[in-house]
């Protein structure tokens, strides 16, 4: 009986596939998992921006905007739209067309993200198809007015107007207040404290 120890190419291919196959499969699996996780994060950012598109000051909205350069790193159309939008946000908001331009640029950002994520939205859908009750606008306006007014009060820029409508009902307290008020009137009419 003689043994044939020669190695054929097919034998080498089988050995290589036996050892390299699981390693390659594992690498491919890890690559697919990373890609899936990246896509899930991108979808989450897009979803948050869509949910908060009428409320641009919400923390979730701002966080999602700030995550775009990380999660859409090599997606050039999205990054370009994001940079243009951020540049606009940094400009003077008192210009009459600022709000319209903000909506247009934000819609462009959402559109570029939708294209990358294979969502079939057109620009008009993204700009107009959302629900924002009037009550939310009123609450937001009221909160802004209260916050600004309180800040001005605490900074000493404004004072609270006060008016006494009625003195306390307690007769003894009323008598003490009247005595004190009379002494104030007398001292202001006699500033040097001269005895009369």
Convert the pLDDT of each residue in 142-170 to its tens digit: 888 888 888 988 898 988 888 877 766 77
The answer as to whether 103 is a domain residue is yes
3 part of a folded domain: no
Asked if residue 42 is part of any domain, the answer here is yes
Flag whether 146 is in a domain.
no
Minimal CA–CA distance to 107: which of 126, 84, 129?
Answer: 126
Evaluate if residue 77 carries a pLDDT over 80: yes
- Count of residues making up the chain: 196
The predicted pLDDT at position 108 comes to: 93
Tell me, yes or no, whether 162 lies in a domain: no
pLDDT value at residue 16: 74
Question: Does residue 106 fall inside a structural domain?
Answer: yes
Rounded Cα gap, residues 88 and 81, in angstroms: 11
Q: Coil, strand, or helix at residue 139?
A: helix
Per-residue pLDDT at 111: 94
pLDDT computed for residue 7 by the predictor: 67
Q: Give residue 42's pLDDT band: very low, low, confident or very high (50, 70, 90).
A: very high
Per residue in 97-156, pLDDT tens? 888 888 899 999 999 999 999 998 888 777 776 666 677 678 878 888 888 888 988 898
Count of domains forming the chain: 1
pLDDT above 90: residue 81: yes
Residue 78 in domain: yes
DSSP 4-73: --PPPHHHHHHHHHHHHHHHHHHHHHHHHHHHHHHHHHHHHHHHHHHHTTT-TTSHHHHHHHHHHHHHTT
Choose from 53-62, 77-86, 160-169 the range with maximum mean pLDDT. Answer: 77-86
Kindly state the average pLDDT of the residues 30-42: 79
- Indicate whether 69 pLDDT > 90: yes
pLDDT band at 79 (very low <50, low <70, confident <90, very high): very high
Residue 123 lies in a domain: yes
Q: pLDDT-based confidence at 78, cuts 50/70/90? A: very high
46-50, 52-56, 152-156, 157-161: the lowest-pLDDT one: 52-56
Question: For residue 33, what are the domain limits?
Answer: 9-133
């Amino acid at each position: 009986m003689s043994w044939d120890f020669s190695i054929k190419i097919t034998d080498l291919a089988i050995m290589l596939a036996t050892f390299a196959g699981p390693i390659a499969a594992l690498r491919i699996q890890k690559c697919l998992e990373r890609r899936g996780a990246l896509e899930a994060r991108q979808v989450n950012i897009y979803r948050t921006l869509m949910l908060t598109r009428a409320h641009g000051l919400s923390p979730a909205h701002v966080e999602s905007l700030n995550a775009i350069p990380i999660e859409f790193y090599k997606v050039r159309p999205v990054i370009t739209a994001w940079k243009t939008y951020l540049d606009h946000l940094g400009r003077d908001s008192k210009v009459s067309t600022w709000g319209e331009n903000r909506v247009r640029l934000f819609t462009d950002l959402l559109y570029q993200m939708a294209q990358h994520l294979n969502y079939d939205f057109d620009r008009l859908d993204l700009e107009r198809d959302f629900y924002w009750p009037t009550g939310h606008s009123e609450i937001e306006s009221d909160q802004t007015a209260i916050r600004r007014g309180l800040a001005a009060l605490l900074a000493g820029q404004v004072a609270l107007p006060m008016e006494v409508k009625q003195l306390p009902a307690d007769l003894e307290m009323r008598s003490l207040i009247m005595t004190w008020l009379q002494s104030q009137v007398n001292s202001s009419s006699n500033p040097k404290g001269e005895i009369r």
